[in-house]
Structure 1
């Protein structure tokens, strides 16, 4: 009987994955293809995303992450040019496979594409450094289809301090960063608080006139001391503002055991490099790392670990404030068992069903909560522009 029940739940999950739009706020395909090009309209051997796997998983609207490495701004490089190149790459995907992919700049676009059976490719910019201190660039990237900006990434930048950076020169947002949040509200661009420092988050909440998002963050409750994730107080502030946290699937985001496992591995490799006096990219280091992982395998999170984060947010602030921000193609080989690529959203749905979530609540997680926030941001901008 138990086997039949499992099968029935999986079938129900498969049906739900095809019935409703699944939006994932963070999929790192563009930078992956820049590093090593593959035709993702076909099945690919590497990576977490391609069209066949997206269709199998019911993925309808993966936000293509226009990821800009923090070192580019830090080293005086041209991050604006890179952002344009990555957007060109997304447009090329659509041009080459118009029967499979379509651009999307609004919830209405995604819904129209869904009816046609097309996978929408909306875009978000991970790291605001391409704005380069010039609000004209905000307009430019909005016109090109960017619909959210993660204000900073792994280093503090000209907009905001980063949660990963010990240096906090702005003590939150810079003066320009504060102007940018207001300008994003006015143009209709979602403000993304993933990656920024706690103080910067508080300032965004204070300044923004509309709900904000965390495009790929998880609950700090399970990973104490990991500022990249959101504390309960932050999740409550986000929800009070009407915002949504989109849960990151990466093992080192959702599991303290995975964080500890990875830190032990990094420390062992660093010690080996120091003792042997070899370069970090040497063959000796690669051989040591391989042998270490064979003897002490990385501790992967599980589907249940990820579901615990959804449960925690729902219990804390309600069903209207959580969604999916997997970070596929952005967290390397650290994805949890049961959620290894974009074909596995039905596993997530089945897990939610087993935990008592209704179909209506699951639909909110899959895309309903995103569309609500996005429409609120659009509506505010329309009113502003009409004044």
Structure 2
């Protein structure tokens, strides 16, 4: 795909679902990936911060009560508790199709409303977290924190007053762009590099985010925009849901080794995306070939053709998807730790955002113990595992708060 294998693929005027909704975890799946008592204990006793989960967009498309068990998707309260997840950043995702419009800003507010509605339905289970201190307090109370991150900065719409409004509503990171170059930054998915990095407003926004205490998220940006951000930011930055280009050569959406080293020097953190096309070269190739073949069919028959739709609907039957495994995700974590140190790596699964492309063993939020077991098998200490699970992100968040307080 020319952008995340999530939600939709946009070609011409046609919007096509990429992956079917993932099925809920079941006992058979968990039994097929056994975990130790140590892994289970680490999951339930640690603060697990996931940098990116797309529940708000999921419930915007079709409301479902994630405070109870759900039939589809990757997240609900029972599965979060089973997996030990207690601080998933809710992605306030606004599609690039709305960039530059008032609807972009309105959509972001609507998605925040949805998160507030989730909390309102079950305040004994969930609470919106606006600081690391609140995450820790909710953890002690047995609640699942729902911090907010905005995916695509387009809802700012060139007005820093909107940054303040969204901060007051709970937004604590902003992914500067998404699938298209916007008024803030060029995108890794877009051949149009209109700014050759950040725009002048994008540079102004990074400074304002530092001053306000909003983490700058460089997932999705072009390489040049990444380095522009590090040049300007006086606070550590995050990659909320990115993986390593080492394993997916040529995929700019992931980060290369030089970028990882620069990120660590900045004090920031990469939070590994679980999607198969992010962590496995064969899955990435499958996705790229599929995109090229769809575009060829559209050129021949027209984007709205029934022939094209049938081709899309049956593609996976003819070409089975090569799923990654939990071991592939662990390999990304392990490589990053060895390159830049354990203090700069975390988790950004993209659950409910990459559909049915999740690796075997990591199909939903009940399966963090499987990932923990993989780290145990690699020889990681409990303390280092806890850092990766959440302490690293909380450290960065605190440093961002400190920079803002001193501004």
Could you say whether these structures have the same fold, taking a TM-score greater than 0.5 normalized by the shorter chain as the test?
yes
Pick one of 159, 166, 185 that aligns with 2:184. Answer: 159
| Residues 291 and 171 of structure 1, relative CA distance in 2, 3 Å threshold | closer
Pick one of 306, 325, 338 that aligns with 2:348. Answer: 325
User: For structure 2, which runs of at least 5 residues remain unmatched after alignment?
Assistant: 1-31
Structure scoring higher RCO (CA < 8 A, sep ≥ 6) equals 2
Q: Residue 71 in 1 paired to residue 94 in 2?
A: no
Q: Residue 371 in 1 paired to residue 394 in 2?
A: yes
Aligned position for 1:311: 334
CA distance in 2 between partners of 1:265 and 1:173 (Å) = 31
Pick one of 83, 94, 118 that aligns with 1:93. Answer: 118
Q: Residue 352 in 1 paired to residue 378 in 2?
A: no
Q: Residue 11 in 1 paired to residue 34 in 2?
A: no
| Residues 212 and 279 of structure 1, relative CA distance in 2, 3 Å threshold | closer
CA distance in 2 between partners of 1:7 and 1:33 (Å) = 29
Aligned position for 1:3: none
CA distance in 2 between partners of 1:290 and 1:382 (Å) = 52
Q: How many residues align?
A: 376
1:195-244 deviation line (CA, Å, top 9, x unaligned): 01111111110111111100000011111111111110000000001000
Aligned position for 1:250: 275
SS at match of 2:246: helix
Deviation at 1:262, TM superposition (A): 2.0
| Residues 35 and 113 of structure 1, relative CA distance in 2, 3 Å threshold | same
CA distance in 1 between partners of 2:342 and 2:386 (Å) = 10
Deviation at 1:8, TM superposition (A): 8.8
Contact 1:27 / 1:62 at 8 angstroms: preserved in 2? yes
SS at match of 1:181: helix
CA distance in 1 between partners of 2:253 and 2:293 (Å) = 24
Q: What is the TM-score with the length of structure 1 in the denominator?
A: 0.94
User: For structure 1, which runs of at least 5 residues remain unmatched after alignment?
Assistant: 1-5
Contact 1:10 / 1:347 at 8 angstroms: preserved in 2? no
Deviation at 1:310, TM superposition (A): 0.4
Q: Residue 362 in 1 paired to residue 385 in 2?
A: yes
CA distance in 2 between partners of 1:7 and 1:158 (Å) = 45
Deviation at 1:292, TM superposition (A): 3.6
Written as runs of structure 1 = structure 2, the 5 A alignment for 1:53-68 is 53-68=79-94
| Residues 308 and 7 of structure 1, relative CA distance in 2, 3 Å threshold | closer
Contact 2:283 / 2:324 at 8 angstroms: preserved in 1? yes
SS at match of 2:99: helix
Deviation at 1:60, TM superposition (A): 0.1
CA distance in 2 between partners of 1:173 and 1:330 (Å) = 25
Deviation at 1:281, TM superposition (A): 6.7
SS at match of 2:191: coil
SS at match of 2:188: coil
Contact 1:104 / 1:121 at 8 angstroms: preserved in 2? yes
Q: Residue 110 in 1 paired to residue 127 in 2?
A: no
Deviation at 1:290, TM superposition (A): 4.6
| Residues 280 and 47 of structure 1, relative CA distance in 2, 3 Å threshold | farther
Q: What is the TM-score with the length of structure 2 in the denominator?
A: 0.89
1:125-157 deviation line (CA, Å, top 9, x unaligned): 000011111111111111110000000111111
Aligned position for 1:46: 72
Please say which of residues 287-296 and 323-332 is displaced more in the overlay: 287-296
Deviation at 1:285, TM superposition (A): 4.3
Contact 1:127 / 1:149 at 8 angstroms: preserved in 2? yes
| Residues 132 and 304 of structure 1, relative CA distance in 2, 3 Å threshold | same
Aligned position for 1:32: 58
Pick one of 249, 274, 284 that aligns with 1:259. Answer: 284
Pick one of 302, 313, 319 that aligns with 2:325. Answer: 302
1:110-132 deviation line (CA, Å, top 9, x unaligned): 11111111111000000001111
Deviation at 1:267, TM superposition (A): 3.6
CA distance in 2 between partners of 1:331 and 1:265 (Å) = 16
Pick one of 173, 177, 184 that aligns with 1:148. Answer: 173
Deviation at 1:295, TM superposition (A): 3.3
Coordinate RMSD, CA, aligned? 1.7
